[in-house]
Chain A
Amino acid sequence: MKRVDHVKASREFIADEKHIEFHDKRLWTLRTLRDEAAHGIEEWEQLRSLASGIKEHALTHLADYLEEFERNATNNGVTVHWAKDAEEHNRIVYEILDSHGAKTLVKSKSMLTDECGMREYLEARGVTVVETDLGERIQQLDHQHPAHIVVPAVHKLASDVSRVFSKTLGTDPDNDDVHYLAEAQRDATRPLILNAAAGMTGCNFAVAETGGITVCTNEGNADLSANVPSLHIASIGIEKVIPKLEHLGVFIRMLSRSALGSPITQYTSHFRGPRKGGEMHFVLVDNGRSARLAMDDFWYSLKCIRCGACMNTCPVYRRSSGLSYGGVYSGPIGVVINPTFDLKKYSALPFASTMNGSCTNVCPVKINIHEQIYKWRQIVVEQHDLPFVKTQAMKLAGKVLAEPPLYRAAIKAADTAVAKLPRAFIYNPFNAWGKQREVPDAPEQTFRDWYLKNRNAK
């Protein structure tokens, strides 16, 4: 696997000022809405602790709860399958479709099926896969990964969508009215849903006590995909299991508030058994999760409920876009998850962070994201996987920071430099801090000078 170069990949996105400006603003708006929603609930911090506690309990008893979930789902008339990896998941789904002669599959958004590369697998075997979430459909038609786990096409402007739709859905290439584009997609997708032999959803929460799954969408497209065709297949990551129905109260209260700032998704749907005359299949997928559970530093990432709050708050993500992370998962949680799949390929990602810790602070299940990013950095450095420029810069920084007089001289020189040097020198291509941002004015006095002066005066 080729190593993902996050900096290089983000350069393409950064090149267009209009894109980066919208992207940054839009995601910061979501973060602001999240804050308003969270501040509106007195017990928010208590809910975070509960959510984290329930997940830790579930993960430390995961085998037991999966067995309980399987038992109850089977009693409800659901066929339960187990897949150790992506290949087995895809094969199981294909075999179910094939045994029904299903040539079209309509589905709602699922990060897991993206992780498994299911679309490509099924399409190579003659099955047409139709994403029914608007953002995910845009990404499918543009042959791109989702750029965000909640708003998959957030890096695109309406003009980009217009370009994609004019080529694939035959819309007017000169019309980039958002209502027009959304309506065109609705009209194009509806007959596909009506003609599909099978529907698929992901799973936000699987409840051991009921043997049912909960799926959250705003478009109601999971409900369409699951309630129109008579066959419903759900792909479920094994870490999604929670013990009891009452625990949904905690997670549903937090999920959409953390993601978009709304009290709940428009549709929170509970699938427990097949419809009359219908068929329901659950595919429980490991694909590296049990191995992650055994990693002392990284098993906490399995608590993730995929709300995207860490992405919206991350300054690096907002200014580089999800595609630059080169994997299915992006943003801070992607930085933590992707290396567990392939450390070599994703060894640059742990450095796509300012270590400001904001991701950890907004996480509704209290994952210590920035600490895990730091851990990954240590592992990457131990394995000598740092690019040359970074190692040299770090060596120099280490030397300077270890010697106070040297550090003070460097700070003084830098302050003078920012004030005196011509722009071209500061905003040169070798200074990463001068790209797409203004270097702030240095304070007139360093903290040390201020301290010495004030202490001496007293």
Chain B
Amino acid sequence: MNSRNAILASLRGAQRTPAMLPDVPMFDAGLPPALEKFKETFASMGGIWADRSMDGDLDAQIRARFPDAKVICSAVPEVAGTRRIAEVRDPHELSDVDVGIVRPRFAVAETGSIWLSEEEYQVNALGYLSQHLVALLDPADIVGNLHHTYHRSDFFSANYAVLMSGPSATADIEGVLIRGAQGIRSLTVIPVARGAG
């Protein structure tokens, strides 16, 4: 018998009494206002919320936040940057990116997370090889909790999807918090409505 069939036979042979599958409620009665809750949790996870500058010039606002940045790679139409993600063929080409720009499909208030897949990134490594990441989020795209999140069909079509809740972080040495453990050193969210670039 091959290993697959041997394992399955052995599991069936264990003959545990079948347990019922419980129904999971949505736990969404009395959820706090989504935008306020998102801002609060996102900040607690180390994220930076930055209101859009008065003149609305996103390229200038991002340059001002990261004055030393040489390569700004954009995956959104609202920001030109210095490199378009469409020009990138291989993830390794992103190793010199200082700032990546993305637009998450939605965000989660409960956990301060933004949702990104290969469709938003185009090249997934943009979210990890970049030194810093800036996300343009439509405040209308925030869902209340993780139960609502995991009822979305987006997960069934994305080959890769992440709930990102702040910068790459570690407290593996003496419990000291380090931001920028392996991936991005900072994550900034700027509220920008869809199609309002």
Question: When the two chains form their complex, are residues B162 and A269 in contact, meaning their CB atoms are under 8 A apart?
Answer: yes
Interface residue? A233 (CB, 8 A)? no
Task: Say which size band chain A's interface belongs to.
Answer: 35 or more
B45 contacts A66, C-beta separation under 8 Å: no
A26 within 8 A of B: yes
Residues of B within 8 A of A186 (CB): 180-182
Q: Is the CB of B167 within 8 A of A266?
A: yes
Interface footprint category on B: 35 or more
Whether A132 pairs with B182 at a CB distance below 8 angstroms is: yes
B65 CB–A CB distance under 8 Å = no
- Asked whether A82 and B181 contact (CB < 8 A) given A263-B110, A270-B155, A272-B158, the answer is no
Cβ-defined contact, B182 with A83, below 8 A: no
Contact call B7/A238, Cβ cutoff below 8 A: yes
In the assembled complex, how far is the CB of residue B117 from the closest CB belonging to chain A, in whole angstroms?
9
Given A151-B171, A220-B183, A263-B110: A53 touches B22 (CB 8 Å cut-off): yes
- The interface residues of chain B, by DSSP majority, are classed as loop
Inter-chain contacts of A39 with B (CB < 8 A):
none
What's the nearest-Cβ distance from chain A to residue B21, in Å?
4
Instruction: Assess whether A200 is interfacial by the CB under 8 Å rule.
Output: no
The answer to whether B151 touches A246 (Cβ under 8 A) is yes
**A67 partner residues in chain B, CB cutoff 8 A:** 8
Q: Are B45 and A221 in contact (CB under 8 A)?
A: no
Provide the A62-77 mask, 1 if CB < 8 A to any CB of B, else 0: 1100110000000010
List of A residues within 8 angstroms of B54 by Cβ: none
A368 within 8 Å of B by Cβ? no
B7–A268 CB distance below 8 A: no
* Bound CA span A267–B12, Å: 35
Within 8 A of A (CB), among B14-34: 14-22, 24-25, 27
Does A290 contact B14, Cβ atoms closer than 8 Å?
Answer: yes
- If A53-B22, A61-B18, A153-B172 touch, whether A220 touches B182 (CB-CB below 8 Å) is yes
- Specify which chain B residues have a CB less than 8 angstroms from the CB of A190 in the assembled complex: 95, 182
B146 near A76 (CB under 8 angstroms)? no
A194 CB–B CB distance under 8 Å: yes
Which residues of the other chain, A, contact B15 by a CB distance below 8 angstroms?
294
Contact B129 A76 (CB under 8 A): no
List the B residue with the shortest CB-CB distance to A256: B111
Give CA–CA (A129, B132) in the complex, Å. 27
CB-defined interface of A285-300 with B at 8 Å, one 1/0 digit per residue? 0100011011000010
Do A134 and B172 form a contact, CB below 8 Å, given A82-B3, A194-B92? yes
Asked whether B17 lies within 8 Å of A135 as measured between CB atoms, the reply is: no
Min CB–CB distance B197 → chain A (angstroms): 27
B99 at the A interface (CB under 8 A) = no
Chain B 106-128 against A: per-residue CB contact (8 Å), 1 yes, 0 no? 00001111000010000011011
| Residues of chain A within 8 A of B145, CB atoms compared | 249, 253
Selected from A53, A82, A158, A194, the residue in CB contact (under 8 A) with B95 is A194
Taken together as a complex, chains A and B put the C-alpha atoms of A219 and B172 apart, in Å, by 10
- How near does chain A come to B176, taking the closest CB pair, in angstroms? 4
Chain B residues near A60 (CB-CB < 8 A):
16-19
Closest to B177 in A: A178
A57 in the interface (beta carbon within 8 A): yes
Inter-chain contact B181/A57, CB cutoff 8 Å: no
B81-114: which have CB < 8 Å to A? 91-92, 95, 110-113
Instruction: Give the distance to chain A from B82, nearest Cβ to Cβ, in Å.
Output: 21
A203 to chain B, nearest CB (A): 14
The answer to whether the Cβ of A54 comes within 8 Å of any Cβ in the partner chain is: yes
| Contact residues, B157-197 vs A (CB, 8 A) | 158-176, 178, 180-184
Asked if A266 contacts B45 (CB within 8 A), the reply is yes
| Contacting residues, chain A, for B129 (C-beta < 8 A) | 224, 228
- Cβ of B173 and Cβ of A161 under 8 Å apart? yes
> In the complex the two chains form, is A54's CB within 8 Å of B21's CB?
yes
User: Bound state CA distance, A181 and B178, in angstroms?
Assistant: 10
Known: A245-B150, A249-B149, A293-B11. A262 touches B45 (CB 8 A): yes
Assuming the contacts A84-B7, A178-B178, A238-B7, asked whether A264 and B111 have C-beta atoms less than 8 A apart, the reply is yes
CB <8 Å contact, B14 and A294:
yes
Distance between Cα atoms of A75 and B172 in the complex (Å): 38
**New A-B contacts (13) at CB < 8 Å, excluding given A158-B176, A227-B128, A243-B21:** A22-B174, A57-B18, A66-B7, A66-B8, A179-B178, A220-B168, A223-B162, A227-B91, A227-B160, A263-B45, A271-B159, A275-B159, A294-B13
Subset of 30 A-B contacts with CB under 8 Å:
A29-B175, A43-B27, A49-B22, A54-B24, A57-B18, A59-B19, A132-B182, A153-B172, A158-B174, A161-B173, A178-B176, A186-B180, A218-B168, A218-B181, A223-B162, A227-B124, A247-B150, A249-B147, A249-B149, A250-B24, A252-B146, A252-B150, A264-B45, A264-B113, A266-B166, A266-B167, A267-B168, A271-B159, A272-B161, A286-B7
